[in-house]
Amino acid sequence: MKFKRPEEMGGPLPERRFQPESVKRENQSNGKSTDMGQEASETLAVTGQERIKEERIYIDMDLIQPNSKNEYSTEDLEDLAAAIKMAGGIWQDLIVKPQNEDGYYVLTTGERRWRAACLLRDRGEYPEKYQGKVPCQIKDTSDLPLQLGEENKENFMILVTNKYRDKTDADLFMEMQKWKSIFLELRKNGVEQFSLGEEAILMKGTKTRDLIAQQMDLSNGQIAKMERVEKYAAPEVMDQLMKNEISLSEAERVASLPKEKQVERLKGEPEEVHPVTKKEVSEVLLEMERNLSFDVKELTERRYREYCKCIKNLKKILGVEDR
Q: Read out DSSP for 37-59? A: SPPPP-----SSSPPPPPEEEEE
DSSP 270: P
Report yes or no on 323 lying in a domain.
no
Query: According to the model, what pLDDT value does residue 322 have?
Result: 63
> Which has the minimum average pLDDT: 164-173, 179-188, 207-216, 305-314?
305-314
Query: According to the model, what pLDDT value does residue 272 have?
Result: 62
How far CA 145 is from CA of 105, 124, 148, 158, 160, in Å, comes to 21, 42, 9, 15, 14
Query: According to the model, what pLDDT value does residue 200 have?
Result: 82
Query: According to the model, what pLDDT value does residue 102 have?
Result: 72
Report yes or no on 148 lying in a domain.
no
Provide the domain count of the chain.
Answer: 3
Average pLDDT over residues 170-179: 93
Half-sphere exposure of 158 (CA within 13 A, CB side): 24
Asked whether residue 4 carries a pLDDT value surpassing 80, the answer given is no
In a shared domain, residues 257 and 210: yes
Which residue range is the domain that position 35 belongs to? Answer: 6-143
Report yes or no on 60 lying in a domain.
yes
Average pLDDT over residues 214-228: 91
Query: According to the model, what pLDDT value does residue 239 have?
Result: 92
This prediction's pTM:
0.59
In a shared domain, residues 234 and 294: no
Query: According to the model, what pLDDT value does residue 311 have?
Result: 81
Residue-wise pLDDT for 158-170, tens only, equals 888 777 777 889 9
Residue-wise pLDDT for 9-63, tens only, equals 333 333 333 333 333 333 333 333 333 333 333 333 343 333 334 688 899 999 9
Q: In terms of pLDDT, which residue wins out, 320 or 30? A: 320
Query: According to the model, what pLDDT value does residue 176 have?
Result: 94
Query: According to the model, what pLDDT value does residue 33 have?
Result: 37
In a shared domain, residues 311 and 220: no
Report yes or no on 213 lying in a domain.
yes
In a shared domain, residues 202 and 291: no
Residue-wise pLDDT for 102-154, tens only, equals 778 988 888 888 999 999 999 999 999 989 999 998 887 777 778 888 888 88
Query: According to the model, what pLDDT value does residue 16 have?
Result: 34
CATH value at residue 96 = 3.90.1530.10
The domain boundary residue, chosen from 268, 286, 305: 268
**d(Cα 295, Cα 165) in Å, to the nearest integer?**
28
Average pLDDT over residues 197-203: 80
Geometric angle at alpha carbon 127, from 136 and 68, rounded to 5°: 40
In a shared domain, residues 264 and 292: no
Q: Which amino acid is at 268?
A: G
Query: According to the model, what pLDDT value does residue 207 have?
Result: 92
Asked whether residue 173 carries a pLDDT value surpassing 50, the answer given is yes
pLDDT band for position 213 (50/70/90)? very high
User: Residue 34's Cα: distance from chain center in Å?
Assistant: 14
In a shared domain, residues 264 and 282: no
104-107 CB contacts, 8 Å cutoff, 24+ apart: 104/63, 104/64, 104/65, 105/59, 105/63, 105/64, 105/65, 105/136, 105/138, 106/64, 106/65, 106/66, 106/67, 107/64, 107/65, 107/66, 107/67, 107/70
CATH value at residue 236 = 1.10.10
Asked whether residue 193 carries a pLDDT value surpassing 50, the answer given is yes
Report yes or no on 136 lying in a domain.
yes
Residue-wise pLDDT for 58-90, tens only, equals 999 999 988 877 777 767 788 888 889 988 988
Q: In terms of pLDDT, which residue wins out, 162 or 241? A: 241
Query: According to the model, what pLDDT value does residue 268 have?
Result: 62
Query: According to the model, what pLDDT value does residue 56 have?
Result: 85
Strands in the chain per DSSP E: 25-27, 55-60, 64-65, 94-98, 105-109, 133-138, 193-196, 199-202
Query: According to the model, what pLDDT value does residue 209 have?
Result: 93
In a shared domain, residues 64 and 176: no
